[in-house]
Structure formats: structure tokens, C-alpha cells
Amino acid sequence: DAKTTQPTSMDCAEGRAANLPCNHSTISGNEYVYWYRQIHSQGPQYIIHGLKNNETNEMASLIITEDRKSSTLILPHATLRDTAVYYCIVKAGGSEKLVFGKGTKLTVNP
């Protein structure tokens, strides 16, 4: 599975959009981009995934560049409860392994 690069930490003001970037320049054609988050002392939570088209669900939007070498997770109106570590993971369809990196620690400030 391709590796990902994320900033170590980010800050965001409550009510503003949080844009979390992820680089995955070695992604292969059959690999999906997944985002999970882990709130302190809890298990990770699935957020969203995509292959090449932009995706949106009730939690977030995922923007994938046309060359698929990077993506951005967007939390449109961040709240204090969105403070967590966000993981960007690249995984081939049909693969059972989720390989977690260090992620981005997002702090939403009041």
C-alpha cells in the first residue's frame, strides 16, 4: 500500500472549515483513499473514502486531485468535538490491511 504524508498538527477555529491535507504521491490505480479519526482514548472512527471522484457525506467532504497524488479532507463547520487525530490511509480495494501512520492532530479552538 502507498504511503501517506500528513502535517503533524493543525489548528482551526470553531465554526470555520477545517481543511486537512494528505500527500500520497505513490498511489496506485486500484488504491482508495480512506480517512479515519481518533478522539482521545477512543477507537478510530471511519469518516469517508474515495477513489478518484470527490465525495461528501454527513461528516465531511473528500477532495482528490485529478492526478490522485494528494487529497484534502474538509470538515465544513468544525466543532470542539472534532478535536482528534485524523488519519489518511491508502489501501487497495480487497486488501484487508489498514496501515495507520501518525496522522494529523487537529485542535478546534473556541
Partner 1 sequence: ETGVTQTPRHLVMGMTNKKSLKCEQHLGHNAMYWYKQSAKKPLELMFVYNFKEQTENNSVPSRFSPECPNSSHLFLHLHTLQPEDSALYLCASSRETSGIVNEQFFGPGTRLTVL
What residues line the site for partner 1 (CB under 8 A)? Answer: 32, 34, 41-46, 49, 91, 93-103
What is the closest distance, in whole angstroms, from the C-beta atom of residue 45 to partner 1 in the complex?
A: 7
Phi, psi of 81 (to 5 degrees): -70, -10
Considering beta carbons, is residue 39 or 80 the nearer one to partner 1? 39
Shortest distance, position 72 Cβ to partner 1, whole Å: 20
Closest among 21, 23, 37 to 73, alpha carbons compared: 21
Residue 86: exposure state from Cβ atoms within 10 A (0-12, 13-18, ≥19): buried
Nearer to partner 1, 14 or 52 (CB): 52
Shortest Å distance, C-beta 106 to partner 1: 17
Name the 3-class secondary structure at 82: helix
Q: Which is nearer to partner 1, 66 or 96 (CB)?
A: 96
Say if CB 34 and CB 49 are below 8 A apart. yes
